[in-house]
Structure 1
Amino acid sequence: MTPQPTTAAPSADAAGRTGPDLADRIHGGWLGRIAGNMLGKPVEQGEVWTRARIDRYLQRAEALPLTDYLPEPTDPADRAVLRPEWRACVRGRIQGSCRDDDVDYTILGLDLLETHGFGFSTEQVGALWLLRLPYLQTFTAERVAYRNLVDGLRPPLTATYHNPYQEWIGALIRADIHGWTCPGDPARAAGLARRDAVLSHTGNGVYGAMWAAALIAAAFTAPSVRDALESALGVIPAGSRLARTVRRVAALHDSALPWQETLATVAGETPGLGWIHTVPNAAVLTAALLYGDDDFTRTLALAVRGGLDTDSNAATAGSVAGVRTGAAAIPARWTQPLQDTVRSAVSGFDGVRISALAERTLRLAAAGP
């Protein structure tokens, strides 16, 4: 049984927002992350599902522009290379969310803050993984770090020993909880995310987590999504490859270059990094947010149509868009199929209510440092 939160609700967050508004925005973040993850999951394999192939899939199903969950495939060749979970993730078939690491780590991060508070250590992050997270539900850098923990290594060696995935996207997908619990305080959110990320990542892998946490924290109070992105850039080294790439996407957007051409340009400037590396995925995410222009549906759609790690990018884009939109204003076609229920491999959390996760996150946000 997952412990349930108490019923008292806070009246305001650190940025002075009213309690109901903060509650709606945090709930929107959870719903946006889970809906985005579900939207992108069937085509999560960037080597196969290029931007062009995703759009061909949608065109054959008469689903462009994309305004709902992915349609069922009409081409047997597409059906053969979709993720095996696709039948539970396409429109008309969704009955609650599928299990996925993009959501598992968010739940695990919530448990971390409830168990150890905001003063948690990197060692405590690792201990909680061993306690609650099945080894075979970890991937790339997280699996290496998990194995290193079992072998008795301690951070930062857990991130560097026999780990070729140190700058991949895994730490970034763990960052949302730190943004939601630090509304309007991107620097504090980034600090929490860094302490989590160094268990398994280095360099741009860590910067990606810091940037994402700061972006989500800033989304609560920034006048626009562009302002939130600018705030997030302030927490990572300006000369890092991640910061340079995010600024490049923003500059191309400002020049009125079409979305497709912006992604093609940046892809040509970041060759050889692979479809799970933090930097090219941050480019897709940044483009989705800027060209989505605070429209929830368009933001999610562009995050998936951008290719690469589709479910991770759409999950983070959905988190930002959900915070900015609030749960009450997210179109029902995204939220109703989730049935307020999430599947999870995290011990003690399978079948938990999304609304309960949001309530527990609200308490942490209201508690502050």
Structure 2
Amino acid sequence: MTPVHTELADRVLGGWIGRIAGNMLGKPIERGDYWTRERIERYLRQADALPLTDYLPEPPSWVEEFQLRPEWQSCVRGGVHGSCRDDDVDYAILGLHLLETHGFTFSTEQVGELWLLRLPYLQTFTAERAAYRNLANGLKPPLTATYENSCQEWIGALIRADVFGWTNPGAPRRAASLARRDAVLSHTGNGVYGAMWAAALVSAAFTAVTPRAALDVAFGVIPSSCRLARTVRRVVTLHEAGLSWEETLATAEAETSGLGWVHVVPNSAVLTAGLLYGDGDFTRTIALTVRGGLDTDSNGATAGSVAGVLCGAKAIPAQWRDPLEDRVRSAVFGFDGARISELAARTVELSTLST
């Protein structure tokens, strides 16, 4: 079952806007080893910004402890005029271009070729940078993911997955299959499963009634015994047991300690908690997800994409949508300054071809 065309267009646009808005919300505090949940809460309290219902406020002028990313002035409330450039959005754009160029039968090798053609090396990070370097040195997949790459299970492949869900509404297994083909260029194990899970989650959001229903569907596309699946199920169980959002995240943090703030497993816990405790409300979903810490801009982006698909663009509150000015900055050659609405329309056109 897929939405009718007019509803589909609004849902896809909601996914794009949600991804960009969630990314912008989390971008100023993207450094999980410094911006712990406790520091984020202290920041918001001192800025009188709880509950969080808009982009982050400027840091209080009298407080010196808060170190935001260099781009913060373009990402805080009152300073947002179109989106900042970020890899969490670049890969959605590059994925759209991949499908427009090679169709749904694209190969992993073609993903790599497009990176070399369209994406600057210095705008890649962690596993993607290792894979890019391996590509430039003539290696082919799957060696591009495994040779001198210590980040194989980090979050990078997950942030590339949304477009496969947007273009396969209500077809989570197909979305996951495409995400896997993309992910193995740079990731292995849970890194690949994270991409498959996220693509299925976005796809399922088109027809699911609640975030929990979408999560239940997404479970079915990855091995039930993998650590990512076990961690996500654990968060669902804690939510069902009536624990608070804070208690659930504290438990998940203790159980995934040592993996690092960019690893896909602890970030999947933060993302799942944001979706469950956000309960379909767009603002609450992205706010809780970003307040959860770790890779804040990546988690905010994926949570915003799922929440945006669930509610549609028309239901996204104006304080998130309007400052974006229907414009996106991008390092992908040929796409800087693109209209968000145009990207969404092109995505809808692809989605009609996939059904």
TM-score tier after normalising by the smaller chain length = over 0.9
Distance in 1, Cα, partners of 2:175 & 2:69: 33
For 1:18 and 1:186, the matched residues in 2 are separated by 17
The answer as to 2:163 corresponding to 1:168 is no
State the one-letter code of the partner of 2:135.
L
Amino acid at match of 1:101: D
Contact 1:27 1:355 in 2 (8 A): yes
Q: How does 1:1-369 map to 2 (within 5 A)?
A: 15-74=1-60, 75-79=62-66, 81-368=67-354
- Tell me the SS of whatever aligns to 2:19: helix
Any unmatched runs of 5+ in structure 2? none
Give me the whole-angstrom Cα distance separating, in 2, the residues matched to 1:227 and 1:18: 20
Give how far 1:78 is off.
4.1
Provide the residue aligned with 1:12 in structure 2: none
Structure 2 counterpart SS, 1:347: coil
Q: Deviations over 1:24-51 (max 9, x none)?
A: 0000000000000000000000000000
Unpaired segments ≥5 residues, structure 1: 1-14
Paired letter, 2:310: R
Letter in 1 for 2:304: G
Greater shift, 69-78 or 17-26, is seen at: 69-78
- Cα contact 1:29–1:320 (8 A) shared by 2: yes
Deviation at 1:111, TM superposition (A): 0.2
Distance 1:64 1:189 in 2: 36
> TM-score scaled to structure 2, two decimals?
0.99
Aligned partner letter, 1:210? M
Secondary structure of 1:59 counterpart = helix
Q: Secondary structure at the match of 1:84?
A: coil
> In structure 1, what is the Cα distance between the partners aligned to 2:324 and 2:257?
37
- Name the Cα RMSD after superposition: 0.7
Q: In structure 1, how many angstroms separate the alpha carbons of the residues matched to 2:198 and 2:344?
A: 19
Q: Does the aligned pair in 1 maintain the 2:2–2:170 contact within 8 Å?
A: no
Whole-angstrom distance in 2 between the partners of 1:122 and 1:319: 24
- 1:16 Cα deviation (Å)? 4.0
Aligned-partner residue type, residue 116 of structure 1: H
Q: Quick check: 1:57–1:78 contact (8 Å CA) kept in 2?
A: no
**Following the alignment from structure 1 to structure 2, what is the Cα–Cα distance between the partners of residues 115 and 78?**
47
Match for 1:54: what amino acid? Answer: I
Q: CA deviation at 1:76?
A: 4.1
After superposing the two structures, state which structure 1 stretch, 15-24 or 26-35, moved more: 15-24
TM-score, normalised to structure 1's length? 0.95
Letter in 2 for 1:287: A
1:87 partner SS: helix
Cα deviations by residue, 1:66-114 (Å, 9 ceiling, x for unpaired)? 00000000054245x2100000000001110000000000000000000
For 1:77, give the aligned amino acid. E
- Measured after TM superposition, the shift of residue 17 of structure 1 is 2.0
User: Is the 8 Å Cα contact of residues 2 and 207 (structure 2) preserved in structure 1?
Assistant: no
Letter of the structure 1 residue corresponding to residue 18 of structure 2: G
Number of residue pairs aligned between Structure 1 and Structure 2 = 354
SS of the counterpart of 2:80?
coil
Q: Deviations over 1:322-363 (max 9, x none)?
A: 000100110000000000000000000000000000000000
How many angstroms apart in 2 are the aligned matches of 1:257 and 1:358?
37
Q: Determine what percentage of the aligned residue pairs are the same residue.
A: 72
Query: 2:118·2:333 contact (CA, 8 Å) conserved in 1?
Result: yes
Return the alpha-carbon distance in structure 2 between the equivalents of residues 51 and 271 of structure 1: 14
| CA shift digits 1:248-307 (9 cap, x unpaired) | 000000001000010000110111000000000000000000000000000000011000
**What is the CA deviation profile of residues 202-236 of structure 1, one whole-angstrom value per residue up to 9, with x for unaligned ones?**
00000000000000000000121101001101000
Tell me, in whole angstroms, the C-alpha distance in 2 between the residues paired with 1:305 and 1:347.
33
Mapped to 2, the partners of 1:93 and 1:246 lie a distance apart of 35
